[in-house]
Each structure stands twice: as structure tokens, then as C-alpha cells.
Chain A
Amino acid sequence: MSIEPITGRYVTVMIEGAPRRIYFEEAGQGRPVICLHTAGADTRQWRHLMNDAEITTSNRLIAFDMPWHGKSLPPEGFETQEYLLTTEAYIETILAVIDGLGLDRPVLAGCSMGGRIALQLAALHPEKFSGFIAIEASDFQPAWYDIDWFHRPDAHGGEMGAALVSANISPYAPASERWNTLWMFMQSGPGVFRGDLSFYTKDDSLIPRLPTIDTAQTPVHIIVGAYDLTCTPEDAERTAKAIPGATLSVMDELGHFPMSEHPEGFRPFFVEALEKMPKRAAEAA
């Protein structure tokens, strides 16, 4: 028997003028690191790093489920709403959770749409953070698929979404973690993956903001997997070049969900990224 050090609790915060009950997990102590999941998934993507004693010795990893995802319920009245995530609502949610948890300038680590919003926050609200780890993150990605495929009455959006995103998982990923990663997409609520993709594939407002990011104040490190078809190494490189002082690491054997699909392969890249971040918020300029 083994009981993991991860603990899960709920915090209620105000978002878009209404209360939202947010599920969050945490492990470790020291420097706070907020971890953002990808589209169509939840905090479980981060469980391997949260169970890594060497990392949590000096890092307090905190991951939360976005509303509509995982154990965070959708807002009251969701049954008549069309879920479409926006940059504004995403930013408001993250800032509300940070305030709700009383965190002082955490490091922000986000993957995919979480990486995209990390770069938006680096441009728009750097004073709230000490640094940014943007994983599988780029300036903008138009859809190479029809997002409406993933929410329709005659087919299972979760199963189709999982089958599509499997294209972004590296063949080096262990089979068990490949399927654990896909399971989260299969479980995603109706229309949620589509609503996340709406944010990811339609909002290009980050592009002109990238050169305004001040990495002397808050470092930005981008990590990308070679098997990522959605955010390719070329996309990440273009994005890093547009941010003065940003750094980039390419992972040859990983894909779009590195912390989830291949935890061992991702670990050294995440450790390297943490080393590039200020040790304490007070050290952030």
C-alpha cells in the first residue's frame, strides 16, 4: 500500500461575477508553482511531477481543474450555455485562483492552451508571477481540424478527441501513460474540448504582445516536443524568437502532453526549467 503525498481540496472564487467551486491539488513546500492542464483534460496530467519527492522538496506544485473540467463543476445554468473559453475568462480564472489561495508571485507552468495563456499573462500581468514555463506553447495555431467534430449528437466527442490527440503523443511514450493521457480526453464533458479549442485556435491576440514581454523581470522558458503536431518545434522556436530573452528546449522523444505521456522523459526538462526560474518570489526583480 502506498498513499501519495498529493492532497486535493476545493476553493470557491468569483469568476465573471459568479461563484465557482474550483478543485485543486498540491504537493510539496517552498516556491509555489501553478500548473495548468491542457485543453480537454485536468490536473491528473501533473500527478507524476507532484509525486516526485526531489521536485517537491523545494517546490509547492499546485494544479487546479478549470471550470467545466475534472472535478470543477461548470457554472450554474451551464445546461443552456455554449462553453467557449476566452482569453479574458481564462486570465480571470487563473488570477482568481492565485488570489483565492493567497499565493505570492508563483511560477506559472502551463501546457498547450495552458502554455499559451502563460505567455498572455507574461505580457499582461507579469507582476503577479515570478516566471513562466510555457510547455508546447506558441503564438497562435489555427485549427487543422474542424472543432465542431468534437461536439455532436451522433458521436462521442471524447472518444473522437482522444483519437485525434493521439497524433500528438510520441511513439516513445510508455503505452500505459499514453492511454492514461487519452483517458482524460475520453472523460471530458460534452463540448468542453471544443470550447477549449475555440480559445486555442481562434484567438491570435498574443502575437503582437510577445515582444512586450520583459524576461528581465520574469523569465520565460519554452519547452516543446518533436512529436507535437499541434505546436511544432518550429512554432515554438518562432514564438521564443519573438520574446526578447526567452529560452527554448526541444525534447526529441516527446509529444504534446510530456508531463503526462512520458513523465520520465519530461522530468529533466522540467527540472531544467525550474532552475531557470527565480528561487523565491522576492528574488524576482
Chain B
Amino acid sequence: MNAWETKVINTFKQIQTRLEATPHLQRLGRLFSETVLIEIDGNEYYLTFEKGHIVSVVEGPSRKTPWRFALRTDAEALDKFWQARPEPGFHDIFGLVKIGRGRIDGDILSLVKNLRFFKEVLGLARAKEEVAA
């Protein structure tokens, strides 16, 4: 695992920890028990949610891990997404899609039904300022 991959895994672990300290997200995600694939520059990361908690963060590649939906992007885009005030387009996962820096695959309706939860969970790694996901 190179330094960047370690940083990404640590960021997802940080999200996992912060989620445990964010009661309103646990409430919003109480019906969400799915595995989500985050693909960054072709590297796979599987985030498994159980009733609003992240129970595992596993690096791929894996051909046997089923996932509900996937967000595919690149490292630079994700770094910008996690800034306190991202540039236009990098401020939202659908922004990444719109500017051609992200793709969402799989059961998109599952994502949309849990959209506020998922976006705010991903935003937990955002640099601190008074900024919502």
C-alpha cells in the first residue's frame, strides 16, 4: 500500500469515527445497510454500512464483493471535494459527475433514497468550516 492509499484508507476510517459521533446521521441512515464501492483512480474501496454505521472499510481489488452503488472518481477531484469550500463542480458528488470527474453506477435509486445521508457521510472528511455536505 503506497502513501496515498494509506491516506485514503485513513480518511475513510476518519469518516467512520466521525459518523459514530454524529447522531443525526445515524438516525438518517438507520435503514441503510449496503456496501458502497468508492473507486479512486481505479483503486477500489468497499465501505460497508449497517443500519447507519460503517462496519468495514476494505481495499480492493475484489471480484466477489457485491455492492449497491459505486462512485468512481480520481484522487485530485476527491481532494478538492474534501476542501472546506470546493471549487464549483467539486462541491458535490453530482457536481463531479457533471464536470466529468466522477461516475455513479449501480442502484442509483438506492443512492437517491439515502442521498442526504450518503453525501453528509462523505462530507465528514471535509476540512472544517461552517459548510454542509
Query: Which residues in A have some Cβ–Cβ distance to B below 8 Å?
Result: 144-145, 149, 155, 159-160, 162-164, 166-167, 170-172, 174-175, 178-179, 226-227, 229, 232
Contact = CB atoms under 8 A, between A and B. Distances in A.
Contacts of B88: 226-227
Given A226-B88, A227-B88, A167 B130 contact: no
A185 to B, nearest CB: 11
A180 to B, nearest CB: 12
Interface string B109-121: 1001101100100
B95 A167 contact: yes
Given A172-B85, A174-B130, A175-B130, A167 B113 contact: no
A227 B94 CA distance: 12
Contact of A229 (B95, B115, B116): B95
Given A170-B91, A227-B91, A229-B92, A159 B109 contact: no
B122 to A, nearest CB: 12
Contacts of A179: 132
A232 B119 CA distance: 21
A157 to B, nearest CB: 10
12 contacts: A149-B109, A159-B116, A163-B116, A166-B116, A166-B132, A171-B91, A174-B130, A175-B130, A175-B132, A227-B88, A229-B94, A229-B95
Contact of B115 (A163, A171, A174, A232): A163
A163 B92 contact: no
A174 B85 CA distance: 12
B117 to A, nearest CB: 8
A171 B87 CA distance: 9
B89 interface: yes
B1 interface: no
Given A227-B88, A229-B94, A155 B113 contact: yes
Given A164-B112, A166-B119, A171-B91, 8 more contacts: A144-B98, A160-B115, A162-B116, A163-B112, A164-B115, A167-B92, A171-B85, A227-B91
B84 interface: yes
Contacts of B93: 167
Contacts of B3: none
Contact of B98 (A175, A178, A226, A229): A229
Contacts of A144: 94, 97-98
B119 A160 contact: no
Contact of A163 (B86, B95, B119): B119
Nearest to B114: A163
A262 to B, nearest CB: 13
Contacts of B115: 160, 163-164
B69 to A, nearest CB: 14
A163 B97 CA distance: 16
Contacts of B85: 171-172
Nearest to B115: A163
Contacts of B95: 167, 229
A127 B94 CA distance: 40
Contacts of A155: 112-113
B94 A171 contact: no
A162 B92 CA distance: 13
B96 to A, nearest CB: 10
Closest 3 CB pairs of A and B: A163-B115, A167-B92, A163-B116
B131 interface: yes
